[in-house]
Copies of this chain bind each other. A is one copy, B any other.
Amino acid sequence: MRPPETVPSADTKERILDAAEVLLAENGYEATSLRAVTQAAGVNLAAVNYHFGSKKDLLDAVIRRVAEPVSRSRLERLEALEASSDAPSVEAVLRAFLEPVFQHLQDSAARGPTVFLLLSRVISDPDPRIQNMLAAAFGDVGQRFIEHLAVLLPHLDEEELWWRFKSCIGVAIFHQSRSLPALSILGSAPDERNLEMTIAFVTAGMSAPSTS
């Protein structure tokens, strides 16, 4: 029988999630062994399969835990824009999309710089199982943002609108990755400047004249 007032072994589950988040981000999915995760979490090897079912299900849980607060914050900001009387600017919409990422980065800074490094690793994985996880975790919110951008940028055909929105995501993801460290030699910029530079770039890109 499960007493409803206590979640059984929430501690073990969370320690596994914490360790898995860091190690999956550092090494990627395939190169992260459950032995390394359970050792870092200080739990038994079998605990992963007991609590999550499989390695893939653990990845799914990690992604969901990261995505949920970001998606919620994005929606809140978008609804705040909708509540305003006049139409928002492109920059305001993109800011509502990007700021929650940086905010989550700062909130979890103690856990290390690995929160969205994980997404930069898994997002390029063509495995349909993983792409479905991402679509389930972020897809609905992305759709909402595209609908708003379509109103603000009516001169773009659907194809170019989606292409540009995907470009915005690519920029944000790429900067959270550890790609091309040679291009990040100066990379000690505070998160706030990184956010402003990103918004300036993608706002200009979004607002460029149509190619059609």
Contact = CB atoms under 8 A, between A and B. Distances in A.
Interface of A: 26-31, 117, 120-121, 123-126, 131, 134-135, 139, 142, 158-160, 162-167, 169-171, 173-175, 177-186, 189, 193-194, 196-198, 200-211
Q: Quick one: copies of this chain in the complex?
A: 2
Given A30-B30, A124-B120, A124-B124, A183 B160 contact: no
Contact of A208 (B28, B124, B184, B204): B204
A189 B159 contact: yes
Given A186-B162, A205-B204, A197 B177 contact: no
Given A170-B171, A197-B211, 9 more contacts: A29-B30, A30-B31, A117-B126, A162-B185, A163-B175, A164-B201, A165-B183, A170-B170, A204-B204
A121 to B, nearest CB: 5
